[in-house]
Structure 1
Amino acid sequence: MGIASRTLKILSYNVSFREDLEMDKRMEAIGDLIQLHSPDLICFQEVTSRSYCIFQQSRWWKLYRCSVTEKPTYRQYFCLQLSKLAVKSYIRKPFNNSIMGRVLCVAEVEVQADMPLVVASSHLESPCPKWDKMFSKERVDQAKEALNFLKKDVNVIFCGDMNWDEELDGQFPLPEGWVDAWVQYRPGENGWTFDTKSNQMLSGNWPLQKRLDRFVCNLRDFKIRRIDMVGMEAIPGLSYCKKKLIDMEALPGLSYCKKKGKNKKLMVPVLPSDHYGLLLTICIK
């Protein structure tokens, strides 16, 4: 089936670097989502050397072309792009101001003649409350730097974990002609991809409900069909004990497991990641 007669799907997913939290089974669950939705392009954030190796050994991996030849090294949290389409060019551009080594990944993929499509992804600077550093200025500057770099292209999708918080960062700095896919096509829905209430794996954390992950687009020859959230279901039969960070009662369906003394830990389900993934569907106009 030719591209002109079907849709294109792009998946963006922060897969969580937590190697101590059922890494193998979580990455297998993400692989199940890939096989279910069959995205044409995948943009991962927080890939580690271990999760990279798990992906490489998965059945779905051979269906994709990996945009990079090197693999993540120890304690490096990598942005990774994969494509079923031919990749005409690929750039990894470090941000000028990143303390955390964050980069902009840009791939031009071959859709059809005279119809270029650029898919860019990143993991913008993360807030660090423990350091008393929220890195809002760095994050805003990185968003502007990325969009300025991409402005020359006529069909652009920029996605990833933007770590964006309107209360700290203001409105995302979209140039004229760009749209935020969730705002445009799911109006009235919160779109929280990091949600300590609905993602029970995060139960016991400090409350946080934010739309950290986003797709922003500037498309001349394509149109957005839909955007969906994925990875919202717990992995069947899998749970773990975690430290209860805040004083709260167990949510329905959860139970506590006791340690020696007065300390308690919370028994919670395991989801594919602490973030939900986003799946964007586009088609030619």
Structure 2
Amino acid sequence: MERGKTKENELGKLFADVSSLSQPDAIKWLQKHNWNLQKALDSYFEIAVGSARASKQKPAVKIVGETSSSKHIEEMNHERMQENLGVGVEEATITVTIGQSDEEEFAEDQIEQEPKSEGATPIVIDLVSDEEQSDIEEITIPGDAEDHGKGQFEASTENTHSGLGTMGANNEPDVAGGGITMLSWNIDGLDLECLPQRARAVCNTIALHRPDVVCFQEVIEPYRDYLVKHTRGYHLVTGGDEGYYTAILLKKSRLDLLGHEIIPYPTTRMMRNLLIVKTRLLGLDLCFMTSHLESTRACAKERQKQLKCLLKNIESAPQSSAAIFAGDTNLRDKEVSEIGGLPWRIHDMWVTLGSSPDTQYTWDTFVNDNLGHSNKSHFRFDRIYFRGALDFSPKLLPHSLRLVGTEQLMCEMFPSDHWGMLAHWDLEQ
């Protein structure tokens, strides 16, 4: 498929930011992988990990792409892809179809940024107030009208696929009663296909549910700018400003932003870290955390290191503070078991609510065909861990968990290759 030089350069810049290659080398690497950004990244890091293991190098990545023959690279890529088939590897076929009007929608004025906190690198953006008129287009929700054909709405968060969702209309949480609602979602910003439509659907989901906290993974700069424009009444704290990164949104009308920090993962090869935001709600101190743990099956050991780091930070939160982590962990259950499971004070939201199969698989290529996998698989990659305040009231009581983003859009893609998780806790005095 013919692609303009502008789009090739955009993909090359993004790949270069993530991999630390020069942009010309990044473009060559993408060409070898048919401009499939996620496949190129996975292959790049798989080869880097294998090379480091073979030579027993320290964590610094050795660039091997241009020092190996094309035939050798192709053989290694084929071997890695065969190894990963059927295990939920995150790969995406990038078809760049963004038109001029869509580019303009994603192109925003320079964002005024607050100074970075000491010893960390989050960016905090203060979004406009709840009182301002929202630009987000009106959503028609199934059930609101007799006839709601596909052409009438772009984003519905009702789960219509068999086995998806646990919270019906008669089981909605009592948000007015002082609970906490959180949305966590890997929004797959690395896949540029239908990105404006998909980003709009994610923002529509926020507008519909008005969660107190939103944890995003795989945010890229155009997506961040779109959030700034279309998400109202939230603080936006990002876990970086280059390549792709995480972000946390806090509803300003309910949560006070007290501080924020980034905990680096020393041996990551994929720009991963732990973003922590400290807040207060109704007299209760809360630490919200998000992360995107190392991807691909070959990186299990690094992923386990990162899991231990985030669990340690949940445990070490002040006793007077509740701590909630939500993110894309890429974990397989055996990897959690191999490190001894979760500490006794830390709870898995899905397990606590009864391990329902309806909300088990957040990565499900049996239903979600965004990436066009021929081999189907499903995994519980996205997880929520929490620890209540140990010596303080009110207490966190898990209420419900559901999956969102399960409706296909008019562009015939889902908002992301992951389902989002919408969780609610009640607060008991």
TM-score (norm 2): 0.53
2:294 to 122, 125, 130: 125
Partner of 1:275: 418
Q: Secondary structure at the match of 2:202?
A: helix
Whether 2:335 is the aligned partner of 1:165: answer no
After superposition, the Cα gap between the structure-2 partners of 1:167 and 1:83, relative to the gap in structure 1 and judged at 3 Å, is same
After superposition, the Cα gap between the structure-2 partners of 1:228 and 1:24, relative to the gap in structure 1 and judged at 3 Å, is same
Task: Kindly indicate whether the alpha-carbon contact (under 8 Å) linking 1:67 and 1:82 is maintained by their aligned counterparts in 2.
Answer: yes
Q: Equivalent residues in 2 for 1:3-18 (5 A)? A: 5-18=177-190
After superposition, the Cα gap between the structure-2 partners of 1:198 and 1:171, relative to the gap in structure 1 and judged at 3 Å, is farther
**Deviations 1:244-280, CA, capped at 9 Å, x for gaps:** xxxxxxxxxxxxxxxxxxxxxxxxxx00000000111
Partner of 1:22: 194
1:181 to 349, 353, 358: 349
Q: Distance in 1 between matches of 2:282 and 2:272?
A: 31
Whether 2:293 is the aligned partner of 1:150: answer no
Aligned letter for 1:233? E
Aligned letter for 1:238? C
2:275 to 105, 117, 125: 105
Partner of 1:222: 396
Shift of 1:183: 1.6
Aligned letter for 1:192? Y
Q: Displaced runs of 4+ in structure 1, greater than 4 A?
A: none
Q: Equivalent residues in 2 for 1:1-150 (5 A)? A: 5-58=177-230, 61-68=231-238, 72-73=241-242, 76-84=243-251, 85-113=255-283, 115-127=284-296, 134-150=298-314
Q: Which segment drifts farther, 182-191 or 76-85? A: 182-191
After superposition, the Cα gap between the structure-2 partners of 1:71 and 1:140, relative to the gap in structure 1 and judged at 3 Å, is closer
**Deviations 1:156-215, CA, capped at 9 Å, x for gaps:** 111100001124554673111211111221424161110010213344343221000000
Partner of 1:249: none
After superposition, the Cα gap between the structure-2 partners of 1:168 and 1:216, relative to the gap in structure 1 and judged at 3 Å, is closer
Aligned-residue sequence identity (percent) comes to 27
Q: Distance in 1 between matches of 2:206 and 2:303?
A: 29
Unaligned runs of 5+ in 2: 1-174, 390-394
**Deviations 1:14-70, CA, capped at 9 Å, x for gaps:** 000234310000000001111111100111000001111111121xx23101124x9
Which of the two has higher C-alpha Rg?
2
Higher strand share: 1
Aligned letter for 1:164? L
Task: Kindly indicate whether the alpha-carbon contact (under 8 Å) linking 2:219 and 2:247 is maintained by their aligned counterparts in 1.
Answer: yes
Task: Kindly indicate whether the alpha-carbon contact (under 8 Å) linking 1:19 and 1:50 is maintained by their aligned counterparts in 2.
Answer: no
Task: Kindly indicate whether the alpha-carbon contact (under 8 Å) linking 1:4 and 1:284 is maintained by their aligned counterparts in 2.
Answer: no
Q: Distance in 1 between matches of 2:338 and 2:372?
A: 28
Q: Secondary structure at the match of 2:232?
A: helix
Aligned letter for 1:140? Q
TM-score (norm 1): 0.79
Task: Kindly indicate whether the alpha-carbon contact (under 8 Å) linking 2:304 and 2:335 is maintained by their aligned counterparts in 1.
Answer: no
Task: Kindly indicate whether the alpha-carbon contact (under 8 Å) linking 1:197 and 1:203 is maintained by their aligned counterparts in 2.
Answer: no
Aligned letter for 1:187? S
CA RMSD of aligned residues (A): 2.1
Partner of 2:39: none
After superposition, the Cα gap between the structure-2 partners of 1:92 and 1:205, relative to the gap in structure 1 and judged at 3 Å, is farther
Aligned residues: 242
